[in-house]
Amino acid sequence: MNRYEDRMARSLASVINVLDPDVIVLGGGLSNIALLYREVPPRLDAYVFSDTVSTPIVPARHGDSSGVRGAAWLWPGKS
């Protein structure tokens, strides 16, 4: 898990360096791993070009069902 958290921090730091998002939302099965929200943010400092990192990492509002819910909203003929 330690290696995964470090690689995730490196990946998200690349996103922060290029796009500078206001927030990063984790969806799918990742949103169910509570440990990531505690362990990954402190690791970002080592990989982000800025002096500080203020980009929060949050779970999707509807957890691992967010993608399915979004697809349902796109379906034609919904009420």
Rounded to whole angstroms, the Cα distance separating 39 from 10 reads: 13
DSSP state, residue 62: T
Find all residues with CB under 8 Å of 39, minimum gap 6, and list them: 5
pLDDT tens for residues 7-50? 999 999 999 999 999 999 998 888 899 999 999 999 999 999 99
* Structure confidence at residue 74 as a pLDDT band (50, 70, 90): confident
Which two three-digit tokens encode residue 48? 């982000």
Dist. CA 71–CA 9, nearest whole Å: 28
